[in-house]
Chains A and B, each alone.
Chain A
Amino acid sequence: MIYQKNFMKKFLNNLKWRFLFFLLVLGPGIITSIANNDAGSLATYTVAAANFGVASKFLIIPETLILAITQEIGARIAIVAKKGLGDLIRERYGVGVSILIFIFYFIINQGVVIQNILGLKAAFQLLNVNWQFFLILSSFFLIAFVFFFDYKKIQKLFILLLLFYFLYFISAFLSRPNWLDVVKESFIWPTKVNIFDLNFWFTRIAVLGTTVVIWGQFFIHSYTNDKKLDIRYLKYERLGFFMGAFLTNFFSLIMITAVTYTLFNHGIKLIDEYSAALVIKPVIGEAVFVLFAIGFFLASILGLIIVPLATAYVFAEIFGYEGSLESSFYKGKIFRGFFFIQIFTGLLIALFFQVSLFEITLYIDFLNGATLTIIFYFLIKFSEDKEIMGKYATSRFYRFLLRASAIIISILVIAVFFGKILKLN
């Protein structure tokens, strides 16, 4: 009897710890999946789905696998080598290559920052206020906020965003989608669009680029490094990443479904902030613009805070300065410098070029998606390297999948690129 009691206690304790560990390791995956959905992503999903319906999530299964695997490999490298992708690129490929990579990375992140600044602009336009004035005001507020307040507390605000994404969720159901069609178009084969249309692939790569973001590839290292996770918990970790990848793609599929059955099926292809807001109209009716503006505002702020941080982090890694998610880094020159530069550049571009987020969002995310192949190259190289990984080198299946997707993406990118230049469509 006593034995049994002890056993139960032990078992329960064990279970409790296991659950705690599970949550701990699940964290990075879920947070990444939320952080993935900034205003730029929302815009890209909206434009993509309005033009190509659910087919813009065609090949969703390999996409999910790629997201999970790249994050898992990244985390594994971080745990085993105690180094990030930036560290390893510098140490293995020298100054020249790493500076080149950083410049490229900076440009892509600047693109994402511009997306999100334009997201703010869209939100202000929806609210019918002087967007120039409010854009400048909110940029300066943002800079002041990040400089003077505890960064970690600001992050908690983003839980609110979950509520906003939930609206898409409800909207998707209220628009009475044909779920069989959704599955067919995304899992099996698109029937409603021309699969040989280069514009379709251009859009598809952009959607990939906003799902598997470059900065996420670098950032996951930092996150696991800072959490000081142990190799023993790698299997929980793996579960976490698959969970995160599943959730990210599930969310995006739901959003895309909502857009498809509110816009695509009604032939609304020209997207601006008003039509984008219509997606959640089935849920809230006439107050739609105000609510959409608030949600979009928050999603933009999310991107604007996280992306410059990711830029600064990689800079610190490559040049060997102290970089971490701990508070001293936020108070350091590097983070503040990049934060200021990226926000300010974004602001100038938004003010002096009359562009809308929905016009350029696909181009920026296409660049992101096209660059993935380079990141895959490094991931494959490092994770195969016995010198770095020892017995934790990646399995053949992973390597095959990464290589295959790198090749396919490269071919598609080249085809789309030349197609666009030669105006084949």
Chain B
Amino acid sequence: MIYFSQVLKKKVVTEDGIKVGYLDDFVFLNKETPIITKILIKTKNKKILVPIDFLIKINKSILIKKKYEETSLFENELYILRNLLDKQIIDIKGNKIVRVNDVLLQKEKNQWYVMGVDIGIFGILHRLGLSNFLEKILGILKFRLSSKLLSWAEIQPLELARGQVRLKKEEKKLEKLRPEDLADYLEQTSLANIEKVIRLLDKKTLAKVITDLNINYQVGLFQRMSPEKAASILNLIDSDEVVDILLFLSKKRREAIMSFFSKEKQKEVNYLLSVHQTGKIGDYLTLEYLTVSSSKTVSEVKNLIKKETADFYFLLYVYVINEKKQLIGVFSLHELLLQDDTNFVYKFMNQNLITVYLTTPLELALRKMIKYKISALPVIDREKRLLGIVTFDDLSEKLYEKIFK
């Protein structure tokens, strides 16, 4: 991943070392995936547009193929410098929020694309060439600057074509990309991409982002990371969550990571892992639950409850799933009753989910229930799909047996 300001005005050279000019701008396709299609080179007497296919690599200088061709701007193409950099970002209502301080470019599968824009002070320092200097000073003071990113997914391409950088959502206080949003965004890209992005984040944010990632990505990340780094991140994550992740890793890997944990953490995690043998959540799964889509209204949900749950033994929570059957939210009957009949589910559902896996130890599930005061937990698979629920009532039977028999 690179900053646009780092490549701007760089020398452009052909593979046999002949200087062509300086990089003046990039052209990108103004669509959902903003691929970079052309580069604008400022030669001695004019500016030429060259298709990105002729680009070999970006190093200290920009290397292009010997026999490059010129081209022109197509429909739906925009310049980074002229149409994006330094422009005003407005929210959906037209309120000014901040400006585009820098543009982040990302390479994936031999294609460059616009990953997002930097809206923080770090971006400004980059542009002024002060970021390294300041980072060193702040490093001495043990203070770390982190980038404020805004992903491309949040910008409306249609509005950009009209000359406005408009956000898709209304964001009153755009401090940073929220960890949950960043996780959602990252899940749409590759593991390699995630690795690059998380290098930019400070550890605390990183821990939050990783907690919100799909277990597949979590496992993938911790398999690739050095055990030491993995441990330093996992140290910041709740032990309950840590055990869930560790259980998906190989035993060797798990032990390597755990050797870097703090003593307390080691003790806690070890204990939770040891209770693993006592029984798994999978054995207590209930299939009596109700799911709705997030676009339903309250009255529709109420009707659904009347129609479908008449023979239920237990109903306290209603789960919200998307088209891919992935769990995206939950609300209790109490919360439902408090809403107006015309309100939509997505407006009041809790997106902060407490979940368990089939492999989660029984005791861990109980701990979660007590800690968060929830009487039923959703059980999901690696793709976040809802498999069933486990209720406190069912677990209490097991508890009773354990205590009194």
Contact = CB atoms under 8 A, between A and B. Distances in A.
Interface of A: 87, 90-91, 94-96, 99, 316, 318-323
Candidate in B89, B96, B101 with the most chain A CB atoms within 10 angstroms = B96
B133 to A, nearest CB: 15
Contacts of A94: 85-86, 127
A21 to B, nearest CB: 26
B97 A95 contact: no
B88 interface: yes
Interface residues of B, number: 14
B3 to A, nearest CB: 12
A294 B365 CA distance: 75
7 contacts: A94-B85, A94-B86, A95-B127, A96-B127, A316-B96, A318-B99, A321-B97
B98 A96 contact: no
A96 B96 CA distance: 21
Q: Which 10 pairs, one residue from A and one from B, show the smallest C-beta to C-beta distance? A: A320-B99, A95-B127, A322-B96, A320-B98, A320-B88, A91-B86, A90-B86, A322-B95, A95-B124, A320-B96
Contacts of A87: 88
A87 B124 CA distance: 16
Contacts of B101: 95
Given A94-B127, A95-B101, A95-B128, A321 B96 contact: yes
Contacts of A99: 124, 128
A96 B85 CA distance: 13
* Chain A interface helix/strand/loop/mixed: helix
B254 to A, nearest CB: 47
B265 interface: no
Given A87-B88, A91-B87, A95-B86, A319 B98 contact: yes
Interface string B118-131: 00000010011000
A288 to B, nearest CB: 49
A319 B128 CA distance: 14
Candidate in A94, A95, A96 with the most chain B CB atoms within 10 angstroms = A95
A37 B87 CA distance: 35
A153 to B, nearest CB: 25
A321 B173 CA distance: 11
Nearest to B119: A320
Nearest to B124: A95
B86 A323 contact: no
A95 B86 CA distance: 7
A44 B210 CA distance: 63
Contacts of A319: 98-99
Nearest to A387: B82
A94 B81 CA distance: 10
B347 to A, nearest CB: 26
Nearest to A91: B86
Contacts of A323: 96
Nearest to A320: B99
A82 to B, nearest CB: 10
Contacts of B98: 319-321
B37 to A, nearest CB: 23
A33 B96 CA distance: 29
A99 B96 CA distance: 19
Interface in B68-96: 85-89, 95-96
A96 B128 contact: yes
A391 to B, nearest CB: 18
A316 B86 CA distance: 13
Given A87-B88, A90-B86, A321-B97, 8 more contacts: A91-B86, A94-B127, A95-B86, A318-B99, A320-B88, A320-B98, A322-B97, A323-B96
A320 B97 contact: yes
Contact of B89 (A95, A96, A320): A320
A271 to B, nearest CB: 43
Nearest to A323: B96
A332 to B, nearest CB: 11
A46 to B, nearest CB: 41
Contacts of A316: 96
A224 to B, nearest CB: 17
A323 B89 CA distance: 13
A99 to B, nearest CB: 7
Contacts of B89: 320
A90 B128 contact: no
A104 to B, nearest CB: 16
Contacts of B127: 94-96
A311 B360 CA distance: 59
A94 B128 CA distance: 10
A90 B97 contact: no
A187 B88 CA distance: 45
Interface string B311-355: 000000000000000000000000000000000000000000000
Nearest to A319: B99
A275 B128 CA distance: 49
Contacts of B95: 322
Contacts of B85: 94
Nearest to B99: A320
A90 B124 CA distance: 12
A186 to B, nearest CB: 44
Candidate in B85, B97, B99, B124 with the most chain A CB atoms within 10 angstroms = B99
A64 B13 CA distance: 54
Given A95-B124, A95-B128, A90 B99 contact: yes
A120 to B, nearest CB: 34
A95 B128 CA distance: 7
Contacts of A320: 88-89, 96-99
A102 B89 CA distance: 20
A321 B88 CA distance: 9
A316 B99 CA distance: 10
A95 B99 CA distance: 10
Nearest to B94: A322
Contacts of A90: 86, 99
Contacts of A321: 96-98
B320 to A, nearest CB: 34
Contacts of B86: 90-91, 94-95
B82 to A, nearest CB: 9
A99 B99 CA distance: 13
Nearest to B127: A95
A319 B100 CA distance: 9
Nearest to A87: B88
Contacts of B87: 91
Interface string B10-39: 000000000000000000000000000000
Nearest to B87: A91
A321 B96 CA distance: 5
A318 B98 CA distance: 9
Contacts of B88: 87, 320
A263 to B, nearest CB: 49
Contacts of B97: 320-322
Interface in B159-175: none
Contacts of B128: 95-96, 99
Nearest to A92: B86
